[in-house]
Structures are given as C-alpha cells and as structure tokens.
A and B are shown apart, each in its own frame.
Chain A
Amino acid sequence: MSPNIASFLRLADDELVLGWRNSEWTGIAPFLEEDVAFSSIAQTEIGHARAWYELAAKELGTDADALAFDREPDEYLCAPLVEMRLVDEWARTIARHWLYETADRIRIQVLLNSQDREVADLAEKIDREETYHRMHAEMWAERLREEPRFCEAVDELWPYALGVLTEEQRPLLCQAVDRSDVEAIERGGHTDNLSPLWEEMTMVRRSVPGASW
C-alpha cells in the first residue's frame, strides 16, 4: 500500500469509527439541543470519512463502501482512541471529542499545505466543517474544565490522543492542550471495542453480500 493510500485510510477509519461512536448518543444525549448538535457532528465525521475513502478507492480501483465495510476488523487503521465505547459517560465522551478535534486540527493543517491539489482542496473543505466541531468541543471543555470526571478522562485518554498523530506532530498537540509528552498508545493494535462495533457497523451490508443498495 502506498504511503498516500495508507494516510487516507488512517484518516477515513478514524472519522468513520468516531462518527459511529458519536452517533451512539443520538436520542440519548444529555439534552435535546445537544442531541441534535452532536448527532450532526457524528454525521459530518462520517461524511469526511467517505471523502477520504473515495480518494483511496480511486487509487485502489474500488469504492468507498467497500473500504468502509468490507474489510476485516484487523485491517482497519484507526487509532484506539476512536474505538472506545463511551456512550454512557458524557464527560469521557467530551474529553475524547476535545482531544480528538484538537489533534485532528494539527493533522488537517499539514494536509492544507499538501502538494497534491486534490488533497489540499479536500482538507480545506473538511476544515470548514471541523471549525464548528472545534468550537463545540472547546465550549464543552471550557464548561467541564473543573469537573473531576472530565479531568480524569482527559488524563486517561491522553496517551491515546497522542496516538492519533505521527510522532513529529505530537509536540504540537502537547502545546495545544498544555500537557507533557508521554508514551503514546499507537495505531496498529486495536482495543476489544472494535470488534463488536465492526459487527454492528457491517451487519446489514454483510447480510446480502454483493447487493447494490
């Protein structure tokens, strides 16, 4: 796999899996307004996943759906951070959301300067929506700043958040959230959370293999 394709798939898998996890709050978020906002964020993450899958699919001669749903769980390149099922713990969900969006910004910043026009254009489009995600994440982080459950969750998830980025991007994340570097929980391995998520996520598609939906 070319380094380009692998990097698109890392992004796409992160966005798809996180979008899926965030969507688990639909209907049960702490209050109605937040339910709508967080569901919408989940939906745009999945939209971004589709866009990155399409770029990869063009080079691999396949399509976005096949990449999203026809691979085995251990073929996914997502970071362990996005896999965790946090659906009954809002403070942890927000801690992840905030850490992920902050890390994602650093990654998108690099892509905005890509030599590849198509990649730079897509990054720009995605960044416009991510601006809203960041605003949402920041306002929640600010509100929960002194909430012990939020602080504990940020401590717990910090090594996972570092694992979203490449080694050379990590100092920027440390700076952005004012935390020191620790040993990252790297991409490549998966948590036990991925497999049940994959079962659910691909269930319908696997029920009729090869169908055109």
Chain B
Amino acid sequence: MGAARGVSGCSVIWEVFRQEREGQPFQHGGSLEAPNIAFAEAYAREFYGRRGESFALWIVPREAVDEVREPYVADVFDRDYRRVDGYSLKVKLKEARELAAKNASR
C-alpha cells in the first residue's frame, strides 16, 4: 500500500511482534512499511501500543526473518507418539479422577 502511494526513498517492510503481558511469549501482530527504524517504531507504537494492548514490541525488518518452508521431517514411520495428538488425555484423566474419588472416600 505504501509503495503504491509513493513512499519516498527506499521503504522497508517491518514485522511487528507484540507481548501482551510481561513474561508472555511475543506473537506476530502484523507488518508495516516505513523508511527507517525511527518511523517503524513510531508507527508500531501507534498501531500496536497506544491502547495499552502491548507490554512490549519487537520490530524486525522482514529481511532479517529466516523463513523455513516445509520444516517437518517426513512422517513415514509410525511415530505418532511424537505428536501431541498421539495421546488421549481424556482416558487418563478419567482414571485419575476415579482413583482420587476412591481414595477420598476411603
């Protein structure tokens, strides 16, 4: 959008990550276009900070982000124990609750 409306000089795309509360992981908020870090910071504050919705921001030039496509190792063998959905917590949880109830009534 910025390019279409003619940003003077070379413009950079910046990726903005926001941390909602202190100690929480940073999550991608969005991106913006700005000629340098001073402008990027000002716009990021405006778009992701002025309503008190972020504790901190990371502003990174998109170029600096190393994108890895298809990062998985081929899942050819039966190794579903590696995946979170390989376990059914429901059954375990039910058994644990029953056991706890039994112990409590004892």
Q: Footprint of B on A, CB under 8 Å?
A: 30-34, 36-37, 40, 132, 135-136, 139, 142-143
Contact = CB atoms under 8 A, between A and B. Distances in A.
Interface string B1-34: 1100111100000000000000000000000111
Given A40-B46, A132-B45, A30 B6 contact: yes
Contact of B2 (A32, A37, A135, A143): A32
Contacts of B47: 33, 36
A33 B3 CA distance: 11
Given A40-B50, A132-B50, A32 B42 contact: no
Interface in B30-80: 32-36, 38-39, 42-43, 45-47, 50
Main secondary structure of the interface of A (DSSP, over half): helix
Contacts of B39: 33, 139, 143
Interface residues of B, number: 19
Interface of B: 1-2, 5-8, 32-36, 38-39, 42-43, 45-47, 50
Nearest to A29: B5
A140 to B, nearest CB: 8
A33 B6 contact: no
B5 A32 contact: yes
B7 to A, nearest CB: 5
A136 B42 contact: yes
B18 to A, nearest CB: 16
